[in-house]
Amino acid sequence: MLITKFWHAGDIEMRDGFSIEELKKRLQNSRYKLTHQRQDVLEVFLNSTGEHLSAEEVHRTLRDKGYDIGLATVYRTLELMCSPEMNILQKMEFGEKRARYELKKIEENGHQHHHLICKKCDKVIEFSEDMLEGLEQKIAETCNFNIIDHQVLFYGYCQECAKKLEN
C-alpha cells in the first residue's frame, strides 16, 4: 500500500514536539544557544508544507522576508540541526548535486517515510511502507549491525511524465 503524505505547518509543530521550545531544549542540552538565526531557519521548515529545501532556498526565503543572514550561517545551522544531538532535520541527496533538508518525520507507526523522485520533473513524492521494517531487521541480524537510520530513494517517472514519455 502506497501512502503519500504532505505535511502542513500545524501538523509539524505538534508532531514529535518540533517547535521552537523543543529546539531550545535540545540546543541547551548540547551547550548551544538559541540564536535568532537558528530560530529563523527552523521557522522556515515549520512553515513549509512538506518541502525538501536546499540551503540556498532557506537563505532566499529568509532574505525575502527581510532577515539579514549569510548563506554560510544557514549551512552551519542546517548541519547543526542534522547532527545526532539535535536530530531535527534530515539531510538528503536526490541526485541533483546539492543537499536538501526536511524536518525529521517519523510516521505514527514509528517508521520513517521514504521518497520517489521523478527523473524528468524532479517531483518528490513521500511514501511509507511497513514491509521495509522486516528487511531492516534481517540486515541488522545478518550483518550483526546496529542500524540507527536509513534512507530509501526510488528514481523513476511520475504518472504525468511517464505519459509524456510514451507519446
What pLDDT is attached to residue 73? 97
Burial call 16-37: b when 16+ CB within 10 Å, e when fewer = eebeeeebbebbeeeebebeeb
**For position 65, which CATH number holds?**
1.10.10.10
In a domain? residue 24:
yes
In a domain? residue 46:
yes
In a domain? residue 3:
no
Q: Which domain holds residue 78?
A: 9-166
150, pLDDT greater than 90: no
What would the pLDDT profile of 14-51 be if each residue is shown by its tens digit? 334 466 777 778 888 888 888 899 989 988 988 887 77
Cell numbers linked to 113: 517515510
Run of H or E residues at 57: helix 55-64
With contact defined as beta carbons under 8 Å apart, do 53 and 102 qualify? yes
In a domain? residue 38:
yes
In a domain? residue 144:
yes
In a domain? residue 1:
no
In a domain? residue 87:
yes
Annotated binding site for Zn(2+): 118, 121, 158, 161
* Whole-number Å distance between alpha carbons of 107 and 2: 13
Q: Total structural domains in the chain?
A: 1
Whole-model pTM above 0.85?
Answer: no
What pLDDT is attached to residue 111? 56
Residues 155, 158, 159, 161: what is their CA dihedral angle, to the nearest 10 degrees? -110
Annotated binding site: 118, 121, 133, 150, 158, 161
Which value, in Å, is the radius of gyration of the alpha carbons in the chain? 17
Annotated binding site for Fe cation: 133, 150
